[in-house]
């Protein structure tokens, strides 16, 4: 099965491709010859994931999926959440976002947080959504060079390494994206067996 992944984020593509079974062939927007930065105007990850997959499905008619992810910090009432990419401003700087997060959390004793991913997939005009959650905590200094976004300051429950200190395979043992993708893969494999 061929699916377009509606993202321009190569990190997300690498993480998700590493989790797919052989029968699922994911092509990126770039590989599909589509140059687009789809706006994420909504207040929920569900709606933002949905608008991204719907936009690409309307353009191509090809099965496609998208994902939207946010970091939800307990002491910040779920922020940055849906605003995770633009937390410190429109230029979407990973470094400035971490800086703002650490500054807002500095005087808060509760450092617990979770990543939440929502995947929206559209096949034959029918949309389905999956969620993946990873709970953990924020540390006050960056550690590690792998990954992207808030990875250098997030330690998932059950580990003592930040996501940025993990290989792709290690991150996948814990990550929100891996959990949501496992549900997508199960769904796609079931569709294939039924046809």
Positions in the binding site for ligand IMP (CB under 6 A): 9, 40, 68-69, 71, 84-85, 92, 94, 97, 115, 147-151, 163, 175, 177
Q: Is the dihedral of CA 155, 44, 19, 150 positive or negative?
A: negative
68 given a catalytic annotation: yes
- Check the CA dihedral 108-93-44-167 and report its sign: negative
Contact 36, 60 (CB under 8 A): no
Please, which residue, 9 or 55, has the CB nearer to ligand IMP?
9
Candidates 14, 68, 107, 151; catalytic one: 68
In sequence order, what are the beta bridge partners of 66?
120
Q: How many CB atoms lie within 10 A of CB 151?
A: 23
For residue 127, the cross-strand partners are 122
> Minimum CB separation from ligand IMP for residue 82, in Å?
8
Which is closer to ligand IMP, CB of 22 or CB of 145?
145
C-alpha atoms less than 13 angstroms from C-alpha of 168 in its C-beta half-sphere: 10
How many angstroms separate the CA atoms of 122 and 132, rounded? 18
* Residue 31 C-beta: closest distance to ligand IMP, Å: 19
Q: Which is nearer to ligand IMP, 78 or 189 (CB)?
A: 78
Q: CB 118 → ligand IMP: shortest distance, Å?
A: 9
CB-nearer residue toward ligand IMP: 57 or 115: 115
Residue 52 C-beta: closest distance to ligand IMP, Å: 9
Which residues are known catalytic residues? 68
């Amino acid at each position: 099965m061929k699916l377009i992944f509606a993202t321009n984020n190569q990190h997300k593509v690498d993480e998700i491709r590493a989790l797919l079974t052989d029968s699922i062939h994911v092509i990126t927007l770039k590989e599909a010859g589509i140059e687009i930065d789809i706006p994420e105007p909504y207040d929920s990850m569900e709606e933002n994931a949905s608008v991204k997959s719907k936009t690409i499905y309307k353009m191509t008619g090809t099965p496609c999926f998208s994902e939207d992810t946010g970091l939800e910090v307990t002491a910040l009432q779920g922020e940055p959440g849906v605003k995770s990419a633009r937390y410190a401003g429109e230029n979407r700087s990973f470094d400035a976002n971490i800086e703002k997060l650490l500054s807002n959390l500095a005087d808060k004793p509760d450092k617990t947080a979770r990543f939440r991913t929502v995947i929206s997939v559209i096949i034959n005009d029918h949309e389905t959504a999956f969620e993946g959650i990873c709970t953990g905590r924020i540390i006050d200094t960056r550690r590690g060079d792998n990954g992207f976004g808030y990875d250098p300051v997030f330690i998932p429950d059950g580990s003592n390494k930040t996501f940025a200190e993990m290989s792709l395979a290690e991150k996948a043992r814990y990550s929100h994206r891996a959990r949501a993708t496992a549900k997508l893969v199960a769904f796609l494999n079931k569709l294939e067996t039924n046809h």
